[in-house]
Amino acid sequence: MTEGYIWTGQYPECQRIIDQGNNQSMELDEKTLNATWTKDDNGKPKFFIINEAIISKLCVLGEECEPCFEGSQITKFSLTFDEDFKQKLFSMMNDLKELIKEGGTKVFSRYAVEIGDNLWNSLWNYTLEKYPDADNAYSSVYAIEGVCEEDSQKFAVLQNRADNKYYRLNFSLNETDGFVPADALIEVTESYTPAAEPQFSLEAVKTYETEYASKKKAEEEDKNNKDNKSNSDNKSEGKDNDSDNPEDGKDKKPIGKKDDPDDGKGNNSDDDGNKDDEDKKKKKKYSLEDVTEYQELKTEYEELKSKYAALETEKNSLTEEIEPLRKFKLASEKKDKEAMIAQFYMLSDDDKKDVIDNIDKYSVDDIEAKLSVICVRNKVSFDLDENKETKPTTYNLNNGEDDDESIPAWVKAALKYENAR
């Protein structure tokens, strides 16, 4: 609630607002606005929670315009000091003194935060990193009880899982630095009283902890698998290098043994060493023919080659057998096509040129359809005896047998008319 003044002397039409009251709205300063959307189970916006903001403007709405918040109205201010008001004021002052007195219970305003959002994740990761639980690698010794604000100072209330004591962690939050926690915790067990309804559901927190642990375990397993693969590849590469350079050990000599080309007995030790190296090389040489797996693969390959050759032979044989049938079918189809073209004798050769030139491409149905369209387009008559003279149909009207079924109805009507005369 705030006080305001309306200049009715300059704007007399505003007197109605004082006498009758009026709906009103407000505008918040975007630079000082600190708010967040809560989301429903489907992840869609549900409520817009305003933590703090400066109201920059108040707006008098039209008579038929509803306010955003129910009960947001301009009303005439009146102050009465009846006994009931005095009693309420006295009781409120006593409660206020009790709250601000040392040792009294402090009431903090909750800060808008949802489990799993950026602020929650920052608090969770910080407590887990700085105060890890020795018995649970994916949890902290402190549980997040709530997130509050006091005189523009944001802080989280943490509860020790072991002794249930409460601690306060001050932090700042802005777009430039993000989440910046204080260096130390402050115990508030004596001054903090948990709310009757917790800010965060215990079931929701438990679900978050379980999902977080599962995610971290999966990430660690994936990392370990990659590391093991990398180590395995490195070892394999080292073995390949050793086998590719069998002479790397030729120049290596036992520790403490001096170079001595002559052992004193007239024998050259270098010659003996070279001979040993050659013997080792001979021993290291091997043939693929001695590898069992190679022999098995070679046998399977030969079998596949043999099967492929047999299939190829069978295919060629079937092709030779089918070829006469294919030619016979084409000849039969062409005969049917030519017969279909012949049925359209009434069309000129120019009209039939397309189907004749493409007789191998078109089917019988295609030829019939194309030529029929041309006939309709040219208004061709399909009567084979156009010049044949048509004789008239005659009936004897004098035999008096009008019950003959072969006599048309119109003839019978004529007989009836004649008899009636």
- Is residue 60 within 8 Å of 74, Cβ to Cβ? yes
Rounded-to-integer distance, Cα 9 and Cα 260, Å = 123
**28-57 mean pLDDT:** 84
Q: What does the mean pLDDT of the chain come to? A: 78
Q: How far is CA 116 from the centre of its chain?
A: 20
Q: Which tokens sit at 334?
A: 């062409």
**Domain coordinates in residue numbering, the chain:** 12-74, 109-217, 296-378, 395-421
Rounded-to-integer distance, Cα 277 and Cα 118, Å = 67
- Is residue 198 within 8 Å of 204, Cβ to Cβ? no
Tell me if residue 92 falls in helix, strand or coil: helix
Which of 107, 109, 119, 122 has the alpha carbon at shortest distance from 149? 109
Question: Using one digit for the tens of pLDDT, what is the confidence trace for 365-414?
Answer: 998 888 888 888 877 765 544 455 555 666 565 555 556 666 666 667 66
- Is residue 313 within 8 Å of 343, Cβ to Cβ? no
How large is the greatest C-alpha to C-alpha distance in the chain, in angstroms? 167
Could you tell me which residue, 284 or 298, shows the higher pLDDT? Answer: 298
- Is pLDDT at 188 greater than 80 in this prediction? yes
Looking at the DSSP assignment, which residues form a beta bridge with residue 38? 47
**Class of residue 165 by CB neighbours under 10 A (exposed 0-12, middle 13-18, buried 19+):** middle
Question: Using one digit for the tens of pLDDT, what is the confidence trace for 228-268?
Answer: 777 766 665 555 555 555 544 444 444 444 444 444 444 45
Laid out side by side, the sheet with 73-74 consists of: 55-60, 22-28, 73-74
Question: Using one digit for the tens of pLDDT, what is the confidence trace for 44-61?
Answer: 887 888 888 888 888 888
Predicted local confidence at residue 182, as pLDDT: 93
- Is pLDDT at 13 greater than 80 in this prediction? yes
Strand stretches in 177-242, DSSP E: 178-181, 186-187
Predicted local confidence at residue 392, as pLDDT: 62
